[in-house]
Chains A and B, each alone.
Chain A
Amino acid sequence: MAETRPVAAEATIVDDQMLFTLVELCRACNATSAQLTVLVEEGVLEPIGSAPEDWRFPGPSLSRARTALRLAQDLDLGGPGIALVLDLLDEIESLRARMRRAGLT
């Protein structure tokens, strides 16, 4: 294998200031618009705007969508199942955060 020099790359934080269109989010998650539309219908993703072509997804939607898609694929879950699992994961995370604050972990 040829020796390669590291390429310098600028990184931007994907935060609330960054908004994805449906097409951009599909590309960033390697998902179809049908898959992401199901997540919107189930309330897993909450874009700004009403019609799919106006949807703008805040940056943190990326993590959430990817987790949802992984669970859907790996555990063969449907829309309502994914939504339930993500809600429970959020709850576990907030309990873990309380434990961390209390120094219990």
Chain B
Amino acid sequence: MEFKDYYATLGVPRNATQDDIKRAYRKLARKYHPDLNKQADAEAQFKNVGEAYKVLGDPEKRAAYDDVGQRYRSGQEFSPPPGWDGGGFEFSGRDLGAEDADLSEFFRALFGRGAAATHMHRGMPSAGADHHARISIDLEDAYRGARRTITLRVPVVDAQGQLQVQERQLEVNIPKGVRAGQHLRLAGQGAAESGVAGDLYLEIAFREHPHFRIDGRDVYVDLPLAPWEAALGATVSVPVPDGTVQLSVPPGSPSGRKLRLKGKGIPGTPAGDFYAVLLVTAPAAKDEAQKSAYAALAQSFAGFHPRTAWEK
């Protein structure tokens, strides 16, 4: 495994004070917090920063890390010194909870055993706890419902007091009509401790779709039209998440006009609506015939001024 330079992660020098470290962490935590930053890598960055602060923000762990860190540079191959068990330090600080299952291998090698043991002493919750996970589904799944096998990684403290990650598979019926940001409740599928099972909650996100845009329960698609289709009217095939519909575009439709298909959005009570947003697309004139067709158009529309809004 690679040695992690936690000082570089937080952007502070090795002799930074605890206050400097806290300030640097706070600033980065605000920057990368996944609730505030919607970029794809924000969550991973936030976890790195959090892990660095878990070590450097705690003077005992920082001292142990510094002791090892004197001999390593970032990215260098790292193996814990023989007999290492948190360097004989007694960690009295925070414990490792379920949310810490994604700490790096490096962190575990340094602090895993001691920290997990602390957790054991503090005692596990006595009743079954409710658990949370996130899943991404396709928009089509929300229209039709779907059956998905999901793999959950569950942190478990083993007989040696080590925090282990176990995998558990569930076959989930995703109900029709579910929307992004909603939760699904799977009764009795949370942590089973002392014979009482908690519930499992799955938070739903939609995968990015190449054509459709989603706004709550409404779904949008851009509908490109040739100028003559927009001017004369046309019947066009439009993809919807559960198939295709024939849509009649009325004559004289301007670009940007929204045609609504009521109830064709995400199903439910009430169902969402589906909108086709008209996008009039003029082709480039490439040969003489096409150029003269445009010229004829210009002649026929001699009274048309596209920039009337600018004229006084």
Tell which of B33, B170, B216 touches A71, judged by Cβ atoms closer than 8 Å.
B33
Write the A6-20 contact mask toward B (1 if CB under 8 angstroms, else 0).
Answer: 111111111100100
Write the B164-190 contact mask toward A (1 if CB under 8 angstroms, else 0).
Answer: 001111111111011001111111010
**Cβ of A50 under 8 Å from chain B:** no
A25 to chain B, nearest CB (A): 10
Tell which of A28, A60, A105 touches B199, judged by Cβ atoms closer than 8 Å.
A28
Per the bound structure, the CA–CA distance linking A24 and B46 in Å amounts to 29
**Cβ of A76 under 8 Å from chain B:** yes
* Chain A residues whose CB sits within 8 angstroms of the CB of B149 once the complex forms: 6
The secondary-structure label for the interface of chain A is mixed
* Chain B residues whose CB sits within 8 angstroms of the CB of A18 once the complex forms: 185
B198 to chain A, nearest CB (A): 7
* Chain B residues whose CB sits within 8 angstroms of the CB of A29 once the complex forms: 130
* Chain A residues whose CB sits within 8 angstroms of the CB of B174 once the complex forms: 11
Tally of A-B residue pairs with Cβ under 8 A? 105
Q: Is the CB of A75 within 8 A of B30?
A: yes
- How many positions in chain B have a CB within 8 Å of any CB in the partner chain? 46
**Cβ of B222 under 8 Å from chain A:** yes
Write the A32-65 contact mask toward B (1 if CB under 8 angstroms, else 0).
Answer: 0000000000000000000000000001101100
Q: Is the CB of B203 within 8 A of A75?
A: no
Contacts A101-B213, A103-B220; is A9 near B186 (CB within 8 Å)? yes
Q: Is the CB of A103 within 8 A of B213?
A: yes
Question: Which of chain B's residues 93-112 have a Cβ closer than 8 Å to chain A?
Answer: none
Q: Is the CB of B169 within 8 A of A11?
A: no
Per the bound structure, the CA–CA distance linking A17 and B130 in Å amounts to 20
A7 to chain B, nearest CB (A): 5
* Chain A residues whose CB sits within 8 angstroms of the CB of B185 once the complex forms: 11-14, 18
Q: Is the CB of A11 within 8 A of B202?
A: yes
Q: Is the CB of A14 within 8 A of B215?
A: no
Tell which of A6, A13, A85 touches B169, judged by Cβ atoms closer than 8 Å.
A6
Tell which of B173, B177, B198 touches A10, judged by Cβ atoms closer than 8 Å.
B173
A33 to chain B, nearest CB (A): 15
Which residue of A is nearest B175, CB measured? A13
Per the bound structure, the CA–CA distance linking A23 and B215 in Å amounts to 32
* Chain B positions near chain A (C-beta within 8 angstroms): 26, 29-30, 33, 35-36, 46, 50, 129-130, 132, 149, 166-175, 177-178, 181-187, 189, 198-203, 213-216, 220, 222, 275, 277
